[in-house]
Amino acid sequence: GERCTAVGTLVQQSRTAEIERSGLRQMVSSTSPKIYIVGTCRRFTQTNSRTYEWLIVKGKMEPTWDGKDIQLNPYDINITEHEERKDTAPEKRVELHLHTTMSSMDALTVTGKVVAQAAAWGHKAIAITDHGVMYGCIDFYKAAKAAGIKPIIGCEVYVAPGSRFEKTKSSEAGADHLVLLCENEQGYKNLITLVSKGFTEGFYGKPRVDAELLRAHHKGLIALSACLAGKIPRKLSAGDYAAAKQ
pLDDT tens digit sequence for 106-142: 888 899 999 999 999 999 999 999 999 999 999 999 9
Q: What is the pLDDT of residues 16-25, one digit of tens each?
A: 333 333 333 3
Cβ atoms 56, 7 nearer than 8 A? yes
**Do 129 and 179 form a contact (C-beta atoms < 8 A)?**
yes
pLDDT at 4 over 90: no
Q: What is the pLDDT of residue 192?
A: 98
Alpha carbon distances (Å) from 95 to 46, 52, 119, 203: 36, 29, 12, 28
Tell me the per-residue pLDDT of 143-182, one tens digit each, with 9 for 90 and over: 999 999 999 999 999 999 999 999 988 766 789 999 999 9
Report in angstroms the alpha-carbon separations of 217 from 192, 195, 214, 231: 10, 11, 5, 19
Structure confidence by residue, pLDDT tens digits, 57-89 = 788 888 877 877 777 777 787 777 877 888 999
Contact 209, 198 (CB under 8 A): yes
Q: What burial class does residue 53 get, using C-beta atoms within 10 Å of its C-beta: 0-12 exposed, 13-18 middle, 19+ buried?
A: middle
Higher pLDDT, 65 or 53: 65
Task: Check pLDDT > 80 for residue 9.
Answer: no
pLDDT at residue 45, as a whole number: 41
Average pLDDT, the chain: 80
